[in-house]
Amino acid sequence: MAASNAVTTYLITGANRGLGKGLVSAYLQKPDNVVIAAVRNPTDSTSLALQDLPKHPSSNLIIVKIESTSETDPALAMAELATKHNITTLDVVIANAGISQIFPAVADAKADDMIRHFHVNAVGVVFLFQAVLPLLRQTSASASPNSMPQQQQRRPAKFVTMSTSAATIGNQEHVPVPNAAYGPSKAALNWITKKIHLENPDIIAFPLDPGWVQTDMGNAGAKAFGLEEAPLSVDESIHGIVHVVDHATRETSGKFMTYNGGEQAW
């Protein structure tokens, strides 16, 4: 890798399948990227298979363990990145890991189901953010106008959370499906992400609706609602997500974005 090239470091959670794997693949094929794939179990066959993804000669893959319900895994992963890989900054974090396991109406929702979804989809992202924040701030500090010559400056760091149209309150009439575990857990994630944006003016932070995608999770949800499969291909969603993330600025930060560059109602 040429010494003059700026390396961009991505951390993607839930990286061994679905959208996470698609994002890992997309960024590995671009030049001068370090892609950190965070997975529940690095020795699982789906995690090991990430090493076989095609990649640009100047890009590299690192696999770390982050289990979304663990309060300690994210910090341990950051320590491992520093000691084993000399990584002390992150340019982009995409909090993609999540669950959608049951689709009850509010009248039928069980506390255990709701708590499980909140733990993974909202609280787990808080654990992740707390661990990566120092590394994001290191990147944003180098983006300061006074930190270095203009031609060497980097963009502020980005923290992107994977949300869903199921989280919308303003457009709930247009999402008429029972979803009283997954939906409110993602609405909580949106609140957390917006607050991250407000509390950290040096970071770009926003939730992103990837569409209803033909992943295992998306298709399972589609079948639960009587559809054969979800309407949106993984490739189309990934193409849009990459464009939105790569072009995000502080001006678009704090908005509920969609994969096609639009805005979703909170």
Torsion sign, CA atoms 169, 173, 176, 180: positive
Number of domains the chain is built from: 1
Per-residue pLDDT tens digits for 63-113:
999 999 999 999 999 999 999 999 999 999 999 999 999 999 999 999 999
Q: What is the pLDDT of residues 130-184, one digit of tens each?
A: 999 999 999 999 876 655 555 455 789 999 999 999 999 998 888 778 899 999 9
Q: Is the pLDDT of residue 1 over 90?
A: no
Distance (Å) of CA 137 to CA 102, 129, 131, 155, 159: 37, 11, 11, 11, 11
In a domain, 246, yes or no: yes
Confidence at residue 5, expressed as pLDDT on a 0 to 100 scale: 67
**3 within a domain of the structure (yes/no):** no
Does some domain include residue 265? Answer: no
Query: Domain for residue 266, yes or no?
Result: no
Write the pLDDT tens digit of every residue in 140-151.
998 766 555 554
In a domain, 72, yes or no: yes
Question: Residue 86 maps to which CATH number?
Answer: 3.40.50.720
Q: How far is CA 167 from CA 46, 68, 103, 157, 241, in A?
A: 28, 19, 13, 25, 18
121: containing domain: 8-258
In a domain, 248, yes or no: yes
Distance (Å, whole) CA 186 – CA 164: 7
> Are 24 and 61 within 8 A, CB to CB?
yes
Can you read off the two tokens belonging to residue 96? 């993609």
In a domain, residue 60? The reply is: yes
What amino acid is encoded at 141 in this protein? A
- Would you list the DSSP string of 59-128? -EEEEEE--TT-SSHHHHHHHHHHHHH-----SEEEE----------GGG--HHHHHHHHIIIIIHHHHH
Encode pLDDT of 6-25 as tens digits: 999 999 999 999 999 999 99
Q: Taking every pair of C-alpha atoms in the chain, what is the biggest distance, in angstroms?
A: 60
Q: How far apart are CA 13 and CA 261, in angstroms?
A: 22
d(CA 242, CA 251): 18
Query: Which residues are identified as catalytic?
Result: 182, 186
Backbone angles phi, psi at 104, to 5 degrees: -85, 155
pLDDT at site 222? 74
Tell me the per-residue pLDDT of 192-223, one tens digit each, with 9 for 90 and over: 999 999 999 999 999 999 988 787 777 777 77
Residue 2 lies inside a defined structural domain of this protein: no
DSSP 264: -
